[in-house]
Every structure is written in C-alpha cells, then in structure tokens.
Structure 1
Amino acid sequence: MLWWKPDTTRGFVWLDKRPKILHTDMSMPYQISHGWARFKYVHSASAVRIARIVYESFKLGLPKVRWFVMGDDDTVFFTENLVTVLGKYDHNQMYYIGASSESVEQNVMHSYNMAFGGGGFAISYALAAQLAKIMDGCLNRYFFFYGSDQRVWACVHEIGVPLTREGGFHQLDIRGNPYGFLAAHPLEPLVSLHHLDQLHPLFPNQTRIHSMKKLMSAYNIDPARIVQQSFFYDHKRRWSISISWGYTIQIYTTLLIAADLQMPLQTFKTWRSWKDGPFTFNTRPMSSDPCQQPALFFLDNVTDVGSGSVTTYKRYEGKEAKCKREDINLVKVQKINVSALKLDPEYWKNVPRRQCCKLMDGGNIKDGSMHIRIRKCRLQETITI
C-alpha cells in the first residue's frame, strides 16, 4: 500500500459484496455494506451505498473514534497531515471538513458549499451521531442527486452545519499534467490527492505508481513539508528559483515577482470541458518561448539526517524545443541539493508563513551541483526582487 499503514491506520474499505481474492494481514480491512438496495435513486445505486457508509461506520460502535473520514477508491491520503489538520478542531463539536472542486464548472454543477468526495472529507463524531439519526430518510429525499458526496452534503445541511474549508484536500478535477498545481501548492499541508489515474504521472518517464512511490519517499521523511513551496532570488545571476519540496525545482532566468511565483503554471485543463479555465484559483500560462520557460529539476533521492533532510533534484531534459540563447551558468547546473530542518506539524496551528531560502557555498556551481538551504524567514526578511 502506498499510504495505508496496517499497524497505525484505522479504517475500512467498504464493498458491495465479499471479495474473491485472498485477504492478507497487509491488506486494508473491509466491511460489506448492507441495506442500501432498498433506497430510490436516479443515477447510480452505488452513490446511495457510498453515502450510507457514514451511517454504517458510526453504527459499528468502534471505541475512541473522533472523526469519520471518507474518500474514493482512487484517493491517496497523507495521513499524518490529515491528523494535523483535524487536530485543530474539537470532534465534540459538529464539523464537516473538506474542499470544493478546482474546476468552476464542477462547483456550478454540484455546489460550491460541498466537500467533494474524491478529495475526501471528514465528519466529526458529534456530527456523525446526528447524521445517523436522519440518514435513511434523507437518502430517500435526495434520490435525484448524482453523487454520494452530494447526498451527504444535503443531509449535513439539514442539520445546519456548513462546510469548513481546508485547502489541502484535493479533488483534482483537472485534466492533463498536474505539475503546475503541485509545483505551487498553497501554503497548507497536503492532505489528499485524487484522480491520479486520470492524470499524467507526477514525474516524467515514470509510471503513476512509481511516481507516487517517489513522492511518498520524501513525504515519509518530512510529512509536514511535502510540496511546500519556497522561492528566492539569485540576484547576481538574475535568477528566480522556486522549490516544491520533495517534488520539483524551477529556475527562471529572469526575476519574477513573488505574486507570480506562487501562482501555478497552467499545465492542465478543466475536468469536464477540457478548457483553459476557469479554475477556483489564478493560473499563469506556460510561455511558448523556450527561453521564457523555467529549467526543471525533479526529485531524485531523499536522505534523512536526523532533525533534517537533504533532497536531491536532477535536471529534466525533455523533448521540447531548446532555447537558442541559453544562460551559460544555468547550463552548468545538473543537480541541486536542498537541505532543510524537518517541519514541525505544530507549524500549521499558527498563521503559516512561507519559509525562506539561501544559496550555500556562495552560490558556486561545483561539479554541476548547487546547494540550497530552506530555513525560517527572519522577522524583517522579505522575498523581494
């Protein structure tokens, strides 16, 4: 399993019938849904079954449960970060936590106020207790809805509980390459990714599974820091350097303002219509001029060094057209080493601030390598051209 830890993670895969394959100790435990076939529906019977899992999970009566977290069969959870996010809230209060879609068309069609199920959502124990009392009647009232998440949302709103938004839940209702989005992740802990089987692999020249294994290799070293973006300037060379920790580095041979660097490159389309937008966040176009495009570096390996880590990123040379007036210094850079202290999960309980960077060794390029250190920003420090 990529993210499930048998001795740590508690939960179930909910199935409509008993599987024929052999279940092992390393497999996710499962439960069989019951009683869902009697409900009315228009679009999909499975949507009724999945929506009712909230009720069935509560009725299991497991001890010391604080939260019920739902996801799809193609959802990848980053569980340590999920725990960190939920730890900010009191499970004895009624909370419905998640995020909407990235594509405006999906939110217009379904709802801006709904937690999309592929990105996952969390329901506090207190809210689950109230949902369990009305769920069956509620499912019959909303038989005409399309998805399971829409049904849960409608039932939650009957109780009067709004969506608490957490931006680390990612439905990923996008098509094509998610690179631009993950290279400029919002300043929030990464909680989930969805639709990875419908998108380009996260790393070039690798399968989707191998890509996720590589991302997880960094995540397991420093969960709170995964894909957190830091950027800075090499004023001497007039470079803008952006780091998405554990994933990628971009080097631009021009000075871009911070507001542009934190804005995702649009390497993707909308989910339903395959158009250039609109999205629920701003994007910037990838220039057709190779000389205006950043040099890309992807994670090669990660080393745990006790209270910190060293990640190494290798230059990616794709089949795209090359700039005919390449920066001589940039051509020399084939590998970048990034050192950083591990990010304390408590960091997310305060108002977050993007961390700063420093070029080590005077910025010298030695044997094709550069060294960058990520650190806390000083009180008066700014990221200014």
Structure 2
Amino acid sequence: MSSTKARSETIQNHFKYRNFLVFPTNGLSMLSLALCCSIASISLIFYSAFSNQSLSFNFLNHKIDANCFNPGKVDGFEKTNISHILFGIGGSVNLWNKRIHYIELWWKPSITRGFVWFDHKPFSNMTWTETLPQYKVSKDTSRFNYTCWYGSRSAIRMARIVKETFELGLENIRWFVMGDDDTVFFTDNLVTVLAKYNHNQMYYIGANSESVEQDMEHSYATAYGGAGFAISYPLAVELVRILDGCINRYHEFYGSDSKIQGCLSEIGVPLTKELGFHQMDIRGLPYGLLAAHPVAPLVSLHHLDDVLPIFPSQTRMESLKRLISGYEVDPGRTLQHSFCYDLRRNWSVSVSWGYTVMLYPSLVTAKKLETAFQTFQTWGSRHGGPFTFNTRTVSSDPCEIPLVYLLDRVESVGGDETLTTYNRYLPWWNNQGECRHCDCTPALAVEFFNVSASKFSPDLWNKAPRRQCCEIINGSDGVNSMVQVQIRDCMHFESVTPP
C-alpha cells in the first residue's frame, strides 16, 4: 500500500510540474517560466554561434525565392504526361537548315513544350513555321572561363540552357529535358520512362556513351547531352543556384554535359541510367546496335548525320520516317527484341519489332541472339571496340549468318493488334558460301515475314523487365516464301532453349 501511495504521489507531482510549465497560475510561476525561457534562449544562441557558425551565416545570407519551388503548382495526383515536360534544345543558327528536319520528326505543336536556344538571332531569311518550337537567344557567356584546348566555348552556352529555361518560370513543369537540335526524341516513351519516377524527388536521368573511350574521357557518371537527359524540378531548383559557379570551377571540361554532371556531383545526385537514351557515339552502320535493343523503351537517337542510314536501302530521313511509322502505331514495342525456334526446320528467328527480322538456318543460343552484331566502330578512334555492351563479329560460317528482312509496312488490326511485314534484304554479308552443316535451301526460299502482336501496354515497363516470347505459326517441313510469327507474353516456365 505504501509503495502504491508513493507512486500515486509521484504521478500527481509529475502532472503538477507539467501544469507549472504549461499553465502557470501565479506570479512566482510566471517569473520562473520567464527565467527558464531566458536561459534556454541564451543557451541556444551560444550553441548556434559556436557549434555551427558557418551553417548559420550561410542560412542568413542565402535568399530563398518563395516562387522558386512551389509544389502546389503541380497536381501531384495526376500521372505525368507530355505537358509536364519542358524541352531545352541546344541549336545553332548556322546549322539550323540542316537540323530542322530532325526536330520536325518529333515535335508536336500545341502538345510538346519547350524552346530552341540559338547562339545568336536567326538570319532574316530564315523561315519559322508553327510546326516548330519557339526560339530564344542564349545570353552572353564571355565572362566565363573555358580552357579545354580541343573544345568549343559553345559548351558554356549549352550548359546554361537548363538555367535559362528554368528561369522562364513556366508553371506545371515536372521535368526539364535537354537535347541537341539533331536529337530525335520518342516522346511517348520518354513520358513512360519519366512517369516511373517521383518528380518531387531529385532525379538526373539519362545514359552513357556507347564507346568506352568516350566514357573514360568524359566520365561514366555523365548523362550524355546528345542522347538527352532529364532533370526533375526539385533538382533544377538546386542546380540553377550553383550552375554559373560550377561552369567556372570546371572550366577545363570539354562538354556542357560534363559541366552539368560536375555541378550535380556537388549536390550529391548520381545518374539514374535508362538504356533507351542513345547517344549513338559510333561510326558506320547502326544496324547491329538497334537490332539488339535492350529491354527498355526507345527514348532517343542522336548523331544521325554521323552514321549510315538506319535502313541501308534508304536515305537517312527516309529511314527515320520508316522507323517512326512503326513507333506511331505501337510506341512501347518499337525495337523490342524477341526470338524463337522452329524446331521442325531447325531455324532461329530474331525479331526487332518495327525494324528487322533475322532468320538463321540453324539453332542459335539465346545468348548469341541477344548480342549485337558489330556493324560499327567506336566514335573517336574508329576501332572495333570496346563498347559498353557486348558485340559479336559476323561469322564466316554460312549456318550462323542470318538472312535479313527489313520493315516494309505496319498496320493496326482490330484496334489492339498490329501486323508488321518485313521484306528480304541482301546485306554485305550475303551468304555466298556452301551450307555444309545445315540445310539452307528452305531458309533461302523465305521472302517475307508477317509478325503479329498485341499493342504494348506502357504499364509493362513498371514491372520487372522481361523480353517477350514469340512462336512461328506456320511451321512445316515444306518450303514457304512467307513465315508468320506471333509475339506474345511468355508462359510460365517458358524459355528459349534449344533441344
């Protein structure tokens, strides 16, 4: 009983003490409260002054613009769409007439938002139509240092495009996407990629160069600017505050993208890599690279003036229009890779949707089928590698050399299905040898491929990535000039495994 009584008195005293602090009822209590508050305030001042002086003064001296970051301007419950993206495109007046056709391929008036930033005011004889983005002229950059002996001072202007675009103060922006005037964006897929990420967090999204020599020179931590990169609004708020100082600190860096990455390293935000951004730091024929596209949506292509046409039998612009014709029907499936076997005829079929089909007159392992043919060289030295992905040379064995078919047309069937047709093309590796280990005759008789597939749901990119499967519909022992292939989801326990 005595212990219970003591515990009760202790609890009562505790509440009396709490009431003394919170609800003083007499003059003595008020005096005690004032004394306690004074001592606490003086202690806090001394603690702040001596324990974290630099932090205190930085906070006092840094002016925060209340309009700089206002999450209330964006409906956080609305799914990211194209209207939430603001493009900053680095352009040159002298090259505009040559590059304008690339922008016309992907820019959608009244839908896409952004500006082309020129080095000076356009010439009076330059035409400007409503089908193009508006232009702006970059500010003078003569006050900045630039000491890269093999580079161009234009890198400073290009680096500041993200700052000048941000300072326009446009509302309802979640992402700033930078690119060049010869970058071709696949905007539906860009939206799909960015929608995966929380735009209220600080993100820096893009991809490296394909050539190792470029990444070693300019950093694996950099999102290469020609491929395009995305910066979320909160990160842009931080970046523009320090960007001009960074440009001078990293005066020896070659490109604008390297300078941007240097600034972001100071903020502490690393690169989030998305494999659908393509810098295209290669020379030669890009066929092998695109025919073995990774399991990721196609977001961008760059350096298209510096590689051979995507479709070898057409011009560069004709090739891009052909590729885009498939993309417009089924954006998410474009260049997606599937392969399957015809066990009756011992064939391997590799489909890169909307681009090409390869037919092997033998059973080839999945590991080989997913590896890109090296139809290109490195960007700078023009050597055979290394690259940031695996490649394989074209075999001298006719049984391992594929017959190549290129996209001819794309059709929508019944709203939710597509039918693509691919015609036979004779590449430089055209089989002239004798098939000693396999029977090439039935394969050589195939002139066309018809590939059917359901339209690719963007939501599939929110799941764990997996290459879709396919099957040959009209497999037989006879000779057919046309082969039908169906692309579909893989079944449980299904794999591309030779017997």
- TM-score after normalising by structure 1: 0.97
For 1:92 and 1:35, locate their aligned partners in 2 and report how far apart those are by CA, in whole Å: 32
- The 5-angstrom pairing of residues 220-299 of structure 1 reads 220-299=328-407
Deviation at 1:321, TM superposition (A): 5.3
- The 5-angstrom pairing of residues 60-209 of structure 1 reads 60-209=168-317
Larger CA deviation: 228-237 vs 6-15: 6-15
Structure-1 residue corresponding to 2:434: 324
Q: 2:119 aligns with which of 3, 11, 16?
A: 16
For 1:301 and 1:7, locate their aligned partners in 2 and report how far apart those are by CA, in whole Å: 29
Does the 8 Å contact 1:36/1:52 carry over to 2?
A: no
Q: 2:468 aligns with which of 345, 355, 360?
A: 355
* One-letter amino acid of the structure 1 residue matched with residue 146 of structure 2: Y
* One-letter amino acid of the structure 1 residue matched with residue 294 of structure 2: P
Deviation at 1:247, TM superposition (A): 0.2
Q: 1:52 aligns with which of 140, 160, 166?
A: 160
* One-letter amino acid of the structure 1 residue matched with residue 471 of structure 2: K
Structure-2 residue corresponding to 1:370: 483
Does the 8 Å contact 1:363/1:370 carry over to 2?
A: no
CA 1:159–1:351 in structure 2 vs 1: closer, same or farther (change >3 Å)? same
Structure 2, gaps ≥5 residues long: 1-103
Deviation at 1:33, TM superposition (A): 0.8
Q: 2:419 aligns with which of 284, 295, 310?
A: 310
Does the 8 Å contact 1:359/1:373 carry over to 2?
A: yes
Structure-2 residue corresponding to 1:6: 109
1:382 partner SS: coil
1:338 partner SS: strand
Structure-2 residue corresponding to 1:40: 145
Does the 8 Å contact 2:344/2:475 carry over to 1?
A: no
2:177 partner SS: strand
* One-letter amino acid of the structure 2 residue matched with residue 37 of structure 1: S
1:12 partner SS: strand
Does the 8 Å contact 1:76/1:194 carry over to 2?
A: yes
Deviation at 1:323, TM superposition (A): 3.2
Query: Deviation per CA, 1:318-369, whole angstroms, max 9, x where unpaired?
Result: 4645233461211221011000000001110110211111211345878621
For 1:50 and 1:185, locate their aligned partners in 2 and report how far apart those are by CA, in whole Å: 29
> 1:26 aligned to 2:134?
no
Deviation at 1:254, TM superposition (A): 1.4
For 1:361 and 1:137, locate their aligned partners in 2 and report how far apart those are by CA, in whole Å: 65
Deviation at 1:288, TM superposition (A): 3.1
For 2:351 and 2:480, locate their aligned partners in 1 and report how far apart those are by CA, in whole Å: 21
Q: Percent identity among equivalent residues?
A: 55
1:109 partner SS: helix
For 1:39 and 1:194, locate their aligned partners in 2 and report how far apart those are by CA, in whole Å: 28
Deviation at 1:274, TM superposition (A): 1.1
1:314 partner SS: strand
Number of residue pairs the alignment of both structures matches: 385
For 1:364 and 1:161, locate their aligned partners in 2 and report how far apart those are by CA, in whole Å: 58
Query: Deviation per CA, 1:285-336, whole angstroms, max 9, x where unpaired?
Result: 1113444310000000001121111000000024645233461211221011
Deviation at 1:9, TM superposition (A): 1.1
Does the 8 Å contact 1:337/1:369 carry over to 2?
A: yes
For 2:170 and 2:194, locate their aligned partners in 1 and report how far apart those are by CA, in whole Å: 19
Does the 8 Å contact 1:332/1:365 carry over to 2?
A: no
2:372 partner SS: coil
Deviation at 1:37, TM superposition (A): 2.8
* One-letter amino acid of the structure 2 residue matched with residue 61 of structure 1: G
Structure-1 residue corresponding to 2:27: none
* One-letter amino acid of the structure 1 residue matched with residue 116 of structure 2: V
